[in-house]
């Protein structure tokens, strides 16, 4: 029986913890764990929208907002020492509340289903604080991807630093999800999830999600064994 | 060994886990709420939160059942969703569900489990622990034919390995019926 099992094997048993808390990764208190890299997936927009701002809820000056649970998504882009990265371009994309991506191979066949008021893609460039900010919807599952997620790509001076995905902490779909399953390290799993919490003073029930992205390993390592 | 363990006491205190992104994990893992994490507690939460994931990893299509539950305790009909046992597991998940534990009981049970894990780990050397886990995943020595073929039983209900009963069902479990249209397959006879 070669298939992985409940406690798949010794390598994974030790590796799952070993690679994180319990082995030397040259980690010291001032070092942060790098955010795990993940597949870009097939739906980075093939045609970027006219409106590419950081508010994905309203397209241009439309009066109709997107369908979905409005989420204020914030965080910082940091290096492994915790230093903020400035002029880092943060791009996000995700499917709309009706499970349609802003990509012609998805939105064409699903034209009727698509929420035309959702921007689907947005970008933001960090200042010296490394902070980014988006207004978007809480991600929903997509057919074949039970884990709701938001795609992230961070670049600086035209060089890509990381491509990854943000998932909802503790969402049941994560455990059914092939991409999530590809992350075998306890800490790595933690680092690709965050809470989507109700904003206490929001009358409209808006959510807030905070997620820092730490650029760890060199970008050249991407595309190595992280397909799904 | 403990990369973050600044004072080398083989535990991680809250002060040592400075990365705020890991606070939630810390709190979930610290089942006895003593403000520090042992390797046993980390192991326990990893397994707890991976349980469903591992089941899924049995793969689409289900695949043949494993060597099967050990002896009489193995549930010949299989128990889809029942995780295999692991060393020292007090009550496996399906059993916990069946018993409809209260929140308070679950917490106490988690604490007990963390305690068991810790003590088991303190008794065994790291290599022995690894060997034990490896044995579990590979099935008992002698391999196939040890128990009735078919879906693994609920397993892990018995005492730790060495005693009668004990963990069963380390094979790939049959896929959940209807999950992908394929009925769970009986394994080919392995004897």
Radius of gyration (Cα) for chain A, nearest Å?
Answer: 18
* Strand B36-37 with B12-13, pairing: antiparallel
How far apart, in whole angstroms, are the C-alpha atoms of residue B13 and residue B9?
A: 9
> Are the Cβ atoms of B3 and A24 closer than 8 angstroms?
yes
**Chain-chain contact of B3 with A187 (C-beta, under 8 angstroms):** no
pLDDT digits (tens, 9 = 90+) for B49-81: 876 664 444 333 333 333 433 434 433 333 333
Numbered residues of chain A with Cβ closer than 8 Å to any chain B Cβ: 1, 3-10, 13-14, 16-17, 21-25, 27, 29, 32-33, 169, 174-176, 180-181, 186-187, 189-191, 195, 212
Tell if the CB–CB gap between B59 and A3 is shorter than 8 Å: yes
pLDDT of residue B70: 41
Contact B22 A187 (CB under 8 A): yes
Q: Which residues of B touch A25 (CB under 8 A)?
A: 3
Task: Find the closest chain B residue to A177 by CA distance.
Answer: B53
Q: What is the DSSP string of chain A?
A: --S--SS--HHHHHHHHHTTTSS-SS--TT--PPPPP----S-S-SS--S--SSB-SS-TT-SSPPSS-EEEEEEEEEETTSPBPTTEEEEEE---TTS--SSHHHHTTTTTTS-TT---EEEEE--TT-EEEEEEE----BTTB-S-EEEEEEEETTEEEEEEEEEETT-GGGGG-HHHHT---HHHHHHTEE-EEE-TT-TT--EEEE--EEE-S-GGGTTSS---
Higher pLDDT, B130 or A109: A109
Cβ-defined contact of A10 to B138 (cutoff 8 Å): no
Shortest Cα distance from A65 to chain B (angstroms)?
A: 31
Per cent of chain B over pLDDT 90 is: 4
- Whether B141 has a pLDDT exceeding 60, the answer reads no
Q: What is the pLDDT of residue B93?
A: 74
Residues 6+ apart with CB under 8 A from B118: B38, B40, B41
Q: Model's pTM, two decimal places?
A: 0.62
CB contact (8 A) between residue B4 and residue A27: yes
Quote ipTM for the complex. Answer: 0.76
**Distance, CA of A143 to CA of A47 (rounded, Å):** 22
Query: What's the pLDDT at A210?
Result: 97
Q: How far is B6 from chain A (nearest CA, A)?
A: 8
Query: Which position has the higher pLDDT, B40 or B59?
Result: B40
Contacts of A176 in chain B (CB under 8 A): 52, 56
Q: Which residues of A touch B19 (CB under 8 A)?
A: 32-33
What is the C-alpha radius of gyration for chain B, rounded to an integer number of angstroms? Answer: 18
Among A1, A28, A81, A170, pick the best mutation site for testing chain B contact (most B Cβ within 10 A): A1
Min distance B45 CA to chain A CA atoms (Å): 9
In tens, the pLDDT along B81-136 reads 334 456 677 887 777 777 888 888 888 888 888 888 778 877 877 667 766 665 55
Question: Residue B46 — pLDDT band, cuts 50, 70, 90?
Answer: confident
**% of chain B beyond a pLDDT of 70:** 42
Facing residue for B130 by CB, picked from A13, A16, A195: A13
Tell me how far apart the alpha carbons of residues B34 and B135 are, in angstroms, rounded to a whole number.
32
């Amino acid at each position: 029986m070669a298939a992985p099992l409940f406690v798949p094997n010794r390598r994974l048993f030790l590796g799952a913890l070993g690679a994180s808390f319990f082995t030397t990764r040259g980690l010291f208190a001032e070092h942060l764990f790098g955010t795990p890299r993940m597949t870009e997936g097939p739906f980075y927009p093939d045609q970027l929208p006219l409106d590419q701002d950081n508010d994905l809820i309203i397209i241009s000056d439309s009066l109709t907002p997107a369908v979905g649970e409005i989420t204020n998504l914030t965080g910082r882009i940091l290096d492994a020492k915790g230093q903020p990265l400035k002029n880092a371009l943060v791009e996000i994309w995700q499917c709309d509340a009706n499970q349609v991506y802003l990509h012609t191979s998805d939105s064409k066949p699903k034209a009727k289903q698509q929420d035309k008021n959702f921007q689907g893609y947005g970008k933001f460039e960090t200042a010296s604080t490394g902070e980014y900010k988006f207004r978007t919807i809480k991600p929903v599952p997509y057919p074949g991807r039970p884990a709701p997620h938001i795609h992230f790509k961070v670049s600086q001076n035209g060089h890509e630093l990381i491509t990854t995905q943000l998932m909802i902490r503790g969402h049941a779909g994560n455990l059914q999800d092939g991409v999530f399953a590809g992350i075998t390290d306890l800490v790595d799993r933690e680092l690709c999830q965050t809470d989507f919490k109700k904003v206490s003073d929001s009358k409209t029930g808006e959510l807030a999600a905070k997620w820092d992205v730490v650029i760890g390993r060199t970008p050249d390592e991407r595309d190595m064994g992280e397909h799904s | 060994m403990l990369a973050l363990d600044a004072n080398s006491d083989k535990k991680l205190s809250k002060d040592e886990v400075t990365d705020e992104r890991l606070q939630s994990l810390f709190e979930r893992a610290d089942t006895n709420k003593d403000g520090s994490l042992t390797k046993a507690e980390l192991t326990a939460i990893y397994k707890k939160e991976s349980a469903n994931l591992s089941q899924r990893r049995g793969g689409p299509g289900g695949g043949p059942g494993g060597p099967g539950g050990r002896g009489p305790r193995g549930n010949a009909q299989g128990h889809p969703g029942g995780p295999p046992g692991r060393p020292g597991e007090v009550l496996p998940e399906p059993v916990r569900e069946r018993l409809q534990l209260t929140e308070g009981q679950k917490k106490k049970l988690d604490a007990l489990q963390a305690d068991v894990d810790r003590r088991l780990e303190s008794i065994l050397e790291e290599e022995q622990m690894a060997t034990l886990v490896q044995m579990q995943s590979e099935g008992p020595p002698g391999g196939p034919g040890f128990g009735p073929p078919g879906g693994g039983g609920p397993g892990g209900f018995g005492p730790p390995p060495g005693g009668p009963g004990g963990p069963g069902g380390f094979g790939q479990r049959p896929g959940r019926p209807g999950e992908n249209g394929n009925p769970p397959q009986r394994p080919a006879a392995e004897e």
